[in-house]
A = this chain, B = another copy of it.
Amino acid sequence: MQGTTQTPSQPDAYTPTDRTVPTRAAHKASYDKDLVHSVLDGAYVCHLGFVRDGAPVVLPTLYARVGERLYVHGSTGSRPLREAGQADPGLPVCLTVTHVDGLVLARSAFHHSINYRSVVVHGVAHDVTDPEEKRQALDALVDQVVPGRSADSRPGNKRELAATAVIRLDLDEVSAKVRTGGANDDPEDLALPHWAGVIPLHQGYGTPVANHDLAPGIEPPAYLTAR
């Protein structure tokens, strides 16, 4: 067809690399952008890994997705964020997000498993220095936790923005991994007298607990109580 090229383009998928093709259970891996986005958009805590003095460090932290970029923030005094700002050309990181959806109980101990959805992002994190990008990233970090909340809070002022470091990690070297379904016992175990199946897990909001110093007459907003 007119206008097409010979180069295969895959706008809807990330390109697999040596690091994102698993050695095991490769059928569970996916590079589909929609799937990756949905896993990332359904959480707000990631586990961020980096290397310090040759050894791995893994810390839980908040993140936000804005298009094909992830943002992580923290105090300008925190080590990884300081190191990302100082390192040239940035700080090599691995950012992982995991949802645990269910417990898979098999007749055999060996086939017990977990239903999960995870995303692993490899790349180099860079300090965000543009003030407008930084402001948008901080709004996104609040909205990732509670959608709509950034518009219902006092925005960061100059002092707060200066005290906060934001680093960016582009979604480029990315894979998702998903397990669904029941237990896969061996045929000879099917008649064993042990229950087998899936225990779905669900997470929900409890009743909001107002701050002790909340001004009178302010009720929890609809975007909280609706969940």
Residues of A in contact with B (beta carbons under 8 Å apart): 19, 23-24, 45, 47-52, 54-60, 62, 74-75, 77-79, 92-96, 98, 100, 102-103, 105-110, 112, 114, 116, 118, 120, 122, 138-139, 142, 145-146, 149-150, 152-157, 160, 164, 182-183, 185, 189-215, 218-221, 224
Chain B positions within 8 Å of A142 at CB level? 109, 112
A142 to B192, CA, bound (A): 18
Chain B positions within 8 Å of A209 at CB level? 182, 197-200
**What's the number of copies of this chain in the assembled complex?**
2
Which single residue of chain B is at the shortest CB-CB distance from A47? B47
**Additional A-B contacts beyond A49-B49, A109-B139, A109-B156 (14; CB < 8 A):** A19-B55, A23-B77, A55-B122, A57-B94, A59-B96, A106-B153, A107-B153, A108-B160, A109-B142, A190-B215, A195-B210, A196-B213, A197-B220, A203-B203
CB of A191 within 8 A of CB of B215, answer yes
Known: A199-B205, A201-B204. A49 touches B58 (CB 8 A): yes
CB of B197 within 8 A of CB of A210, answer yes
Sample (6) of A-B pairs whose CB atoms are under 8 Å apart: A19-B55, A23-B78, A47-B49, A49-B94, A114-B145, A202-B206
